[in-house]
């Protein structure tokens, strides 16, 4: 797959996000191709959610982490696609009536509203499973430039982040926590799994593919942990402060379902303070990196300044 990815230099954030998101978008469209065969409707449903736009933050983080350690982002594009496919599957399933029962995502009807619950469920299943095929082919195929041991470690870490020890486990804790009081430490534990695990996998996987050593991976893990939590705190705040029109999805839904959030436990002002503290913690973790990590620094700032 030809991507024409070049090292970032020191770009402004909007240009960097736009260029990297465009590359990811093109690669995703290639990896999940349309089909007019018997399973054509399944692929339509997969592409409906996968190609719905967005800033592609998680795959962009993977590419930026690869660059930060001196790697070529071209090498990590398959991994970046896998990350976004897994994230999209989680959104499709999150929106189902048996979960959050949402009708709107990114300003459009949710997948099950268009294709029905059964096809939406299978579209999520397809994206999750195919993500590992995309990653394995890109990292272990005949033209791969990733050492096999590195590829296997990356695949294992991503599976753990997406599964019962990570995102899926966090979702279960979230569901079981509805309607009951939750302490701050419990909420943080929940979101380290539900949201943070995939952030860590994106950053560490991209860096590992880029040739990071053990010490670099440890520091980048600290960065990703702080960034993922900051992102979730702001997500909770936007659910309280922004409108449906601006967010492109239903707001105030956490309160309606009796879910504990950072604003409900800490208040709005203290939650914003916490988000900024976490962003600064992420920036501090990158102190030993040079200019190549500037996109990661900008993304840490973006995590608390975003409004959409």
Answer yes or no: is 8 within a domain. Answer: no
Answer yes or no: is 1 within a domain. Answer: no
Tell me: the pLDDT tens digits for 178-220?
888 899 999 999 999 999 999 999 999 999 999 999 999 999 9
Answer yes or no: is 87 within a domain. Answer: yes
CA distances from 162 to 7, 21, 83, 89 (A): 29, 22, 9, 10
Answer yes or no: is 6 within a domain. Answer: no
Answer yes or no: is 37 within a domain. Answer: yes
> Which residues are CB-contacts of 261 (< 8 A; sequence separation ≥ 6)?
187, 236, 239, 240, 254, 255
Q: Which domain holds residue 126?
A: 13-305
- 151 with 132: CB under 8 angstroms? no
Answer yes or no: is 2 within a domain. Answer: no
* Percentage, residues of the chain above pLDDT 70: 92
* Among the listed residues 52, 171, 30, 28, the one whose alpha carbon sits nearest the alpha carbon of residue 114: 52
Tell me: the pLDDT tens digits for 5-18?
444 444 588 888 88
Lowest-confidence pick of 143-147, 198-202, 303-307: 303-307
Chain centroid, CA 203 distance in Å? 10
Confidence of residue 250 (pLDDT cuts 50, 70, 90): low
d(Cα 204, Cα 93) in Å, to the nearest integer? 25
Q: Could you say which DSSP state residue 105 is in?
A: E
d(Cα 195, Cα 225) in Å, to the nearest integer? 10
188: CATH: 1.10.600.10
pLDDT at 227 over 80: yes
pLDDT given at position 306: 73
Averaged confidence pLDDT in the chain: 90
Answer yes or no: is 183 within a domain. Answer: yes
pLDDT: is 269 or 143 the higher one?
A: 269
Number of independent structural domains in the chain: 1
Answer yes or no: is 32 within a domain. Answer: yes
């Amino acid at each position: 797959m030809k991507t024409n990815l070049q090292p970032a230099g020191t770009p402004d954030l909007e240009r960097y996000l736009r260029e990297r998101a465009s590359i990811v978008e093109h690669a995703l469209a290639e990896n999940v191709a349309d089909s007019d065969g018997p399973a054509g409707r399944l692929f339509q449903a997969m592409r409906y959610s996968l190609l719905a736009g967005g800033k592609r933050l998680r795959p962009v983080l993977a590419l930026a982490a690869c660059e930060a350690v001196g790697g070529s982002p071209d090498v990590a594009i398959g991994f970046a696609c896998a990350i976004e496919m897994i994230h999209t599957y989680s959104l499709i399933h999150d929106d189902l009536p048996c979960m959050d029962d949402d009708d709107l995502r990114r300003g459009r009807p949710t997948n099950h509203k268009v294709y029905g619950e059964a096809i939406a469920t299978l579209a999520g299943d397809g994206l999750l499973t195919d993500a590992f095929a995309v990653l394995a082919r890109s990292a272990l195929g005949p033209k791969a430039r990733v050492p096999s041991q590195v590829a296997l470690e990356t695949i294992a870490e991503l599976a753990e982040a997406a599964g019962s020890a990570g995102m899926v486990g966090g979702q279960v804790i979230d569901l079981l926590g509805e309607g009951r009081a939750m302490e701050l430490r419990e909420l943080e534990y929940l979101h380290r799994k539900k949201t943070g695990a995939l952030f860590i996998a994106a950053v560490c996987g991209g860096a590992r593919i880029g040739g990071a050593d053990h010490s670099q991976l440890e520091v980048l893990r600290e960065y990703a942990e702080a960034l993922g939590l900051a992102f979730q705190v702001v997500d909770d705040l936007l659910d309280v402060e922004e409108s449906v029109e601006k967010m492109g999805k239903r707001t105030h839904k956490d309160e309606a379902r009796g879910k504990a959030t950072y604003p409900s436990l800490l208040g709005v002002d203290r939650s914003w303070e916490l988000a900024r503290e976490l962003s600064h913690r992420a920036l501090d973790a990158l102190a030993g990196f040079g200019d190549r990590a500037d996109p990661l620094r900008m993304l840490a700032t973006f995590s608390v300044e975003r409004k959409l």
